[in-house]
Amino acid sequence: EAQVTQNPRYLITVTGKKLTVTCSQNMNHEYMSWYRQDPGLGLRQIYYSMNVEVTDKGDVPEGYKVSRKEKRNFPLILESPSPNQTSLYFCASTQTPGFGANVLTFGAGSRLTVL
């Protein structure tokens, strides 16, 4: 089954404790992206990657890091989480984002709480 898999789905952590949210897709998509979703603010892009070793900032990159060492994986790293990073996070992928009806496929989401 074609899918985007995120882990963990739920996480409660404390301020300053480094964490990684993994994202993996099995569709051989070139493009991957991370979004956070907060009430009233909608989905906001954190980082995206056009291909292996190619990453770029989205709208809200502060406090996050990403890497794209393999095509299928795009982990999101919070080096020193803070309470304002409490949010619902989605990983998404597509083949060619800039053309046609190329649809973003989303993971199931990771709900993160930082105390």
Partner 1 sequence: GQNIDQPTEMTATEGAIVQINCTYQTSGFNGLFWYQQHAGEAPTFLSYNVLDGLEEKGRFSSFLSRSKGYSYLLLKELQMKDSASYLCAVRDSDTGRRALTFGSGTRLQVQP
Q: Summarize as ranges the residues that interact with partner 1 (CB under 8 A).
A: 31, 33, 35, 40-45, 48, 50, 56, 58-59, 88, 90, 92, 94, 97-101, 103-104, 106-109, 111
Among candidate residues 15, 9, 49, 8, the one with its CA nearest the CA of residue 32: 49
CB of 40 or CB of 62, closer to partner 1 = 40
* Closest distance of CB 13 from partner 1, Å: 20
Here the tokens at position 105 are 């496929």
Q: Cβ–Cβ contacts within 10 Å for residue 16, how many?
A: 11
CB of 31 or CB of 85, closer to partner 1 = 31
* Closest distance of CB 59 from partner 1, Å: 8
Residue 61 Rama label (left phi>0; alpha psi -120 to 50; beta): alpha
CB of 24 or CB of 33, closer to partner 1 = 33
Pairing of strands 76-78, 105-106: unpaired
